[in-house]
Each structure stands twice: as structure tokens, then as C-alpha cells.
Amino acid sequence: MEGFKALGLSYKNAPIEVREKVAFTEVEASQFLTKLKETFLIEEAVLISTCNRTELYYTAQDNLEPEIIGLIAAHKALPSDQLTEYFNLYDSSSASKHLFRVSLGLESQVLGDIQISNQVKRAYQQSADLNLAGPHLHRLMHTIFFANKRVVQETSLQDGTASIASVAVDLIKGFVGNIENPRIALIGLGEIGQNVLENLNKEEAAITLVNRTKSTAEKLANERNIAVCDMTDLSKVVLENDVIITAVTTSAPIISAADFDSKLVHKLMIDLSVPRSMDADLESVPGLSLYNVDQLTERTLKARELREQAIPEVSKIIEEELTGFISWKSEMGVSPTIQRLKNALDQIRKEELSRHKKLSEKEMELLEVVTKSMIQKVIKLPVLQLKAACKRGEAETLVGVLNDLFNLDSAEVEKK
């Protein structure tokens, strides 16, 4: 894994104001990776950018962290000195393990978040499309995907619903199941609001976005082909939609029982704001179901506890699969030596056969078969020993011994 590195920031060390500035859309990510490849001649790279993290994994012999952070800053038209403090750096010994943990949901804000796996897959596919996925990255990603299958099958890391946003969407699914052409209004598009929107993506419903900064709503709406309304039309939005979710910062409720007439209504109201943005008097409105953050949080606690119990099992799976990947990488490192050894022995075999020119064609054919079989048996033990040495971290010593015994380096030079 020498040369494989990573850098990035996440919700753990960067506020949302910073994460927003360095977040990449799919198109922007493609442009940035292309620029990265052209600027630094990097052959492998994958960029993972979500609302909670932006991380770049790449293969290079040199440490390019300052230059890459500078390139990110330039791409986003930001001063690089404002970003550097938020970036974590991972060297070759930790980058692969960190990518495992991110992809499997151990580093997610919602422990075991199932969305991150799909986000990583899309990022990997983008790298492959840009010819930025070489043998190392291909093998690493497929090992991670296999580990994810094991996590799903062998642990409870992804069981239950463990985020406020996903609990809210579960409630919505249950509520709109029997409504023809349901209408959903999402008011407030900060981090929580955007998480809800992301969870709502697959719902068959007409969605309307309302936000104090209308340009934010319009940008998100354009990406998803959904409607936008002004905050001044809030009363109309509340009356026209079957589900209303609020995730705004406010000192006083923005929706109350006064927004409804005395008729029976059939609506689901979900208040994700702290302080609350929906007045408690809404509970008096006939046919209206009201949920606040505390009520939704109760639903997540048990799932969170269950997922936390799975962390040791998931960590064990990561260690097992990472060990297998490291062994493969080490074996790839000794493959040239194995090939040179095979070539050296085959050259000796051919030279010996060339001395016996009086043999008939049939005899030569028989000798070809016999001597090739002998070479295969002779080389079997050194190959097995090399692979075992890889697992022990001692391959370099054995490679040196084989090079000295069979003069492999000079043999390779002579062959060229």
C-alpha cells in the first residue's frame, strides 16, 4: 500500500459552513479529478463528497497534501489557508483502513448509515470512468464491497433506524401509503433539512421546498426537479400539503392551530426544529398528527444501542479483509521476482535441451514435457515460501536471497 494516501474533512472536525464550501457535485468532482490527474500525473484517485465529508484517496510516491488542498481551494475559489486546519491526513498505513471504516458506516454521523456505501460506489465508478482506478484501487474497493456484504449478513450494524431524518421519513412512508398523489412540504434546508430531503429522494410524492434563502431551495430543487415556494406563502403551503416537515431556526413557532379552520384535516406534522417551530396547540386540531424531535429521538435510541454493540464485530471483519488485501498487495510486489525466477530456470532448461541435437523429434517433445514439469515442481516451494514471507512481512529478505542465488537482476538485464 506504499504510496496510497488520503486527506479530507468531515463533520467531526469541520463545521457545516466549511463542509458546504468544499462539497463537490458529481460534475464538479469529475472536473476536479481530471484537473488533479493532469496537474500531478496521479494514476489512481477517488473523491468521496457528501454533506458530512469531502475526502480524496490517491496513489502517489510524493506527499502532495499541501498542493492538493491548494487545488481544492482554487477549484472552489477559496483561500487555502482557511481550509488547511480542517483537513486530516492519512498515510499509506492508515488510508486504506480509514476508507474501510468510512465505506462501512463506522465514521458516519449516523452509525451504520447505509447511504454511504452507495455514495462510495458511485465515487469509485466515477474514478473508473475517468481511468483513475488502477489494480490497487480496483482490488481495494471490491474488498471493501465484500466486507460490506459480510457486515450486512453477519452483524446488526445496519439494523433499525438510527437517524432523526430516516425516522421522520419512515413515519412519512407509513402516513402517505394510502394517499393518492401525496404532497410533502419541507420547510428549512439546513443540514437536517437536507438529510430529510436526501432520505425522501425515492418517495413517489410531489415535494415542495421552502427556505428563508430561496436560492438554496432553488439549487436543491433544480437538482431534483421539485417545486419551491417563498416563506411568505407558508400558510398556503401548510394548507395544501399532506405532510409538513419543519427544520428551521426560530425563536417562536411559525405554524400553529390558527393556520387551520375548524374542519377535520388529515395531515402529518413533523417538527425537527430546536426550539420548536410548530406550536403545541396543533395537537388540538382534529385529524392532525404531530411529532417533535424528542419523540423521534426515542425511536432512534434502541437502534443506536444495537448498532453500537456491533462495532467490535465490524472492526474484526475490517481487520480480516484488510489483512487479506495487504497479503494480496505484498504478493503483487513479489510477482516480478517470481516471474524472473521462472524465466531464469526456463532459460537453463532450454540451454540444456539445445545441447542434445541428436535426439529425434519425438524424444525432444517428451523432454519438453518432462523438463517443464520438473521446473514447475522446483519453483513451487520458493513461490510458497515467498507468499508465506509476504504474510510475515519478510518478503524483502527472501527476494534478496533469490536474487543473489540465481543472479536474477543481471539475468533480467541480459534478457533485455
pLDDT number for residue 314: 96
- Containing domain of residue 290, as a range? 164-300
What average pLDDT is seen over the chain?
86
Contact 5, 92 (CB under 8 A): yes
Q: For the ranges 186-190, 198-202, 329-333, 363-367, which has the lowest average pLDDT?
A: 329-333
**Domain boundary, last residue among 159, 189, 207:** 159
Tell me the pLDDT tens digit for each residue of 290-327: 998 888 887 788 778 888 999 999 999 999 999 888 87
**Domain boundary, last residue among 116, 138, 159:** 159
- If asked whether residues 14 and 155 sit together in one domain, one would say yes
- Do the domain assignments include residue 404? yes
- If asked whether residues 245 and 293 sit together in one domain, one would say yes
Contact 238, 288 (CB under 8 A): no
Tell me the mean pLDDT in the region 162-179: 87
- If asked whether residues 11 and 152 sit together in one domain, one would say yes
Q: Is 229 a catalytic residue?
A: no
> 195 or 29: whose pLDDT is higher?
29
pLDDT number for residue 401: 66
Question: DSSP class of residue 208?
Answer: E
- If asked whether residues 175 and 136 sit together in one domain, one would say no
**Domain boundary, last residue among 120, 144, 159:** 159
Q: What is the CA radius of gyration of the chain?
A: 30
* Residue 413 banded pLDDT, cuts 50, 70, 90: very low
- If asked whether residues 82 and 38 sit together in one domain, one would say yes
Task: Count H helices and E strands in the chain, helices first.
Answer: 15, 10
- If asked whether residues 153 and 188 sit together in one domain, one would say no
- Do the domain assignments include residue 309? no
pTM, two decimals, is 0.66
Active-site residue, selected from the candidate residues 18, 23, 42, 51: 51
- If asked whether residues 152 and 204 sit together in one domain, one would say no
Q: What angle do CA 19, 22, 27 make, to 5 degrees?
A: 125
> 41 or 134: whose pLDDT is higher?
134
Tell me the pLDDT tens digit for each residue of 255-281: 999 998 767 789 999 999 888 899 999
Contact 315, 151 (CB under 8 A): no
- Do the domain assignments include residue 325? no
- If asked whether residues 268 and 357 sit together in one domain, one would say no
Q: Write the DSSP string, 141-180.
A: HHHHHHHHHHHHHH-STT-S--SHHHHHHHHHHHHHTT-S
- If asked whether residues 72 and 192 sit together in one domain, one would say no
Of 285, 275, 227, nearest in space to 254 by CA = 275
Q: What is the CATH number of the domain that holds 118?
A: 3.30.460.30
Say whether pLDDT at 333 is over 80: no
- If asked whether residues 196 and 281 sit together in one domain, one would say yes
- If asked whether residues 9 and 147 sit together in one domain, one would say yes
- If asked whether residues 9 and 152 sit together in one domain, one would say yes
